[in-house]
Structure 1
Amino acid sequence: MSPGRPPGLQHVDANTPTVLVLPGPVTKDEVSGLCDDVRALLEAAGGGVVVCDVGGLGPPGLGVVDLLARLELAARRAGGRIRLRDPDPALPALLDLVGLRFEMEGEPEQREPPLRVEEEVEPGQPAV
């Protein structure tokens, strides 16, 4: 018998964001319910970030842009913001084209700062 997860609640700390998986494709009727979900998650967590897993939304289009803009607006009104996980490679370019900026998981701001880089010097020059 292999050991499973320990019984009880999964450990979640203040640095662990809440994740909302967006099923694809999303209809116009589902948008308001997803906005309500984002608001409820942020209110339960006391603000912060909701990570929206957008990998299942399919190819990006204006419907996806509209959905994400509405989710971000709902999050801002609830005192938080959203971060996108697993976007289609074309989605960041489309969002930039329409003038919307979203934080993506895995961007350099989310990683640790790079280690110091030592530059090579030409022979005979002092090291800096």
Structure 2
Amino acid sequence: MTASFALGAEFTRADIPVVCASLIRLAATLGDGEIVCDVSAVTRPDVVTVEMLTRLALAARRAGGRLVFTGVSAELRQLMELLGLREVLLPGEG
């Protein structure tokens, strides 16, 4: 089973626990399914963005699901690379 959700263009570090809790509730309904997270609205990625994505991926794994990101901009991809998290957040991308 697959479910999806989208991140808004802007959020703060304080939003991270709230979004993670929503993802955990969604993952609980899926069991071991895949959750697709659209990040195309994120136009100015920063360290908080990567923290959000990392914590979401961890929350999904802990809940038994798998999180896949779509709509990843070149800027966000570069930031993930700079922080050493591209392989963690975008596994299988060359």
CA distance in 1, matches of 2:62, 2:32: 10
Determine if contact 1:50/1:81 at 8 Å carries over to the other structure: yes
CA distance in 1, matches of 2:42, 2:16: 13
Match of 2:82 in 1: 97
CA root-mean-square deviation? 1.8
TM-score for the superposition, normalised by structure 2: 0.84
Determine if contact 2:30/2:65 at 8 Å carries over to the other structure: no
TM-score for the superposition, normalised by structure 1: 0.64
Match of 1:64 in 2: 49
CA deviation profile, 1:37-93 (whole Å, cap 9, x unmatched): 111111101122211111112221111111111111111110122111111112122
Determine if contact 2:50/2:80 at 8 Å carries over to the other structure: yes
Match of 2:31 in 1: 46
Alignment of 1:1-128 (within 5 A): 14=1, 17-100=2-85, 101=87, 102-103=89-90
Q: Which runs of 5+ in 2 are unaligned?
A: none
CA distance in 2, matches of 1:70, 1:89: 21
Q: Size of the alignment, in residue pairs?
A: 91
* Higher RCO (CA < 8 A, seq sep 6+): 2
Percent identity reads 33
CA deviation profile, 1:69-119 (whole Å, cap 9, x unmatched): 111111111012211111111212211221212238xx69xxxxxxxxxxx
